[in-house]
Amino acid sequence: MAYKIITSQCTVCGACEFECPNVAIAMKGDTYVIDPKKCTECEGHFDVPQCAAVCPVPKTCVPA
């Protein structure tokens, strides 16, 4: 159970990085990557995955 970022669509704005309650998102090379081991899809924190809620590009933060 984890989310992933579709790299080709990502604008690298970084909003997901500081909304993530699990510190699961970090820059790797030129883009942001979600660590599936840390991602909980925000369960226990929020109703919806924060990365998908804040991402400006549709269908970019999606279930892995």
Partner 1 sequence: MGTLIGLDSLTGPVSSNDMRQALTSSAPLVGLEALSGPVSSDDMRKKLTDGGCSSSSCGSSDTSNDMPAEIWEKVKDHPCYSEEAHHYFARMHVAVAPACNIQCNYCNRKYDCSNESRPGVVSEKLTPEMALRKVMTVASEVPQLSVLGIAGPGDACYDFKKTEETFRLISQKIPDIKLCLSTNGLALPDRVDAIANMNIDHVTLTINMVDPEVGTKIYPWIFYKNKRWTGLDASKILHERQMEGLEMLTARKILCKVNSVMIPGVNDEHLVEVNKVVKQKGAFLHNIMPLISDAAHGTHYGLTGQRGPRAMELKELQDKVSTGTKLMRHCRQCRADAVGLLGEDRNEEFTMAHVPENAEYDPSKREAYREIVAKERGEHVATRKEASATLAESVSETGTSVLVAIATKGGGRINQHFGHAKEFQVYEVSAKGVGFIGHRKVEQYCEGGWGEDATLDGVIAALEGVNVVLCSKVGDCPKDSLAKAGIDVSDTFAHEWIEAGIAAWYQQKYARAEVRVSA
Residues that bind partner 1 (CB under 8 A): 9, 11-15, 18-19, 46-48, 50, 53-54, 56-57
Strand partners, 4: 62
The SS3 call for residue 4 is strand
Minimum CB separation of residue 10 from partner 1 in Å reads 9
Kindly state the tokens that stand for 7.
């790299």
C-beta of 19 vs 35, nearer to partner 1: 19
Kindly state the tokens that stand for 28.
């790797």
C-beta of 23 vs 48, nearer to partner 1: 48
